[in-house]
Amino acid sequence: MPNALVIGATGFVGGRIAHHLAEHGWAVSGLARSASAIAQLEKSGIDAVAGDVEFDLDAVVTASREHDVVIYAAQIAPPVELVAVSGLISGLTGSGRTFVLLSGSGVLCQRTAGAWSADSFAEDDAFLPEPLAEPRVEAERLVRAASSNGLRTMVVRPPLIWGPGDHGHVPMVYRSVSATGSACYVGNGLAGYGHVHVDDVAALFLRAIEAGKPGTLYHGVAGELPNRWIAEAVARDLGVPTRSVSMEKAAEIWGEFGALIMSVSSRIRDAATRAALGWVPRHTDMLSEIGEPRLRALAASITTKE
């Protein structure tokens, strides 16, 4: 039975990847850096491996060598991530293991203040990196280059990932109703951000592990929605108005980073990935989440109306 170590298995995406592999006959372990994380993994049926990529990377490298496949899906600060990925690659060099990095289309997002961009990017198109993501871009480069050093390495770069739980732009728009009484978007709200369901991301990882080519970057996108369309759908669901907000107001509603995410264009294409791996997403309508009670609850406590 093949085995895999998922770094980030207690997270939204890493956890779904871990369970998807387990459902397909893999022996899966998840890295856990606390007693509560160990308990969480064991309760969900995933073996726990104690370790911390930030503070005890050597131990994580040692554990990685005991697995056929290592998946890096942790969500930590990009500069810290670069150090961790570099250390893992160095420690696994020559081992013949498979190493797959979860990246994201945020590396190529464009700061359009809510406006649409004509640019969209295929897997190996050149782009100007988002400054905050430059360490992630370097991590992608390191991982792909390591395929010439006795490793089978790949990068998976999905766009916005949505699914069970409060993840993605739809929950963020519901939260804006709680803050302002309106379903908000930035600027003219036409910035496009590709999206994909977390189950389809997990399926893409399995396809890459089974059939991926060393050194390759894979995209996986199911669709694309302007934020204004999301806001209009939320407004219809709740019977509230929509509202365009400035970047300054967006930062008050969602925080500085949230305002950035809600204002950028991040458009990708995945034709090469679909042709190479036969991957096709099953969930293509992010607006199918509209009206779910868990999301309506985010807008239930309206604190201010302006």
pLDDT digits (tens, 9 = 90+) for 110-145: 999 999 999 999 999 999 999 999 999 999 999 999
55 contact partners, CB below 8 Å, separation of at least 6 = 33
What are the beta bridge partners of residue 218? 156
Using alpha carbons only, how large is the chain's radius of gyration in Å?
Answer: 20
pLDDT digits (tens, 9 = 90+) for 230-247: 999 999 999 999 999 999
pLDDT digits (tens, 9 = 90+) for 45-81: 999 999 899 999 999 999 999 999 999 999 899 999 9
87 contact partners, CB below 8 Å, separation of at least 6 = 53, 57, 61
Mind giving me the DSSP string for 94-134?
TS--EEEEE--GGGG-B--TT---S--B-TT------GGGH
- Residue 53 in contact with residue 74, Cβ under 8 Å? yes
Tell me what percent of the residues of the chain surpass a pLDDT of 90: 89
For residue 242, give the nearest of 255, 254, 228 by alpha carbon: 228
256 contact partners, CB below 8 Å, separation of at least 6 = none
Residue 305 confidence (pLDDT)? 42
Residue 33 confidence (pLDDT)? 87
How far is the C-alpha of 102 from the C-alpha of 78, rounded, in Å? 12
- CB half-sphere exposure, 224, CA atoms < 13 A: 19
- How large is the average pLDDT for residues 1-5? 91
Question: CB burial class (10 A; 0-12, 13-18, 19+) of residue 95?
Answer: middle
The model's confidence at residue 301, banded by pLDDT at 50, 70 and 90, is: low
In Å, the largest CA–CA distance within the chain is 60
- CB half-sphere exposure, 209, CA atoms < 13 A: 28
pLDDT beyond 90 at 300:
no
pLDDT digits (tens, 9 = 90+) for 163-210: 987 889 999 999 999 999 999 999 999 999 999 999 999 999 999 999
Structural domains of the chain ordered from first start = 3-110+119-160+195-219 (3.40.50.720), 164-194+224-266+285-299 (no CATH)
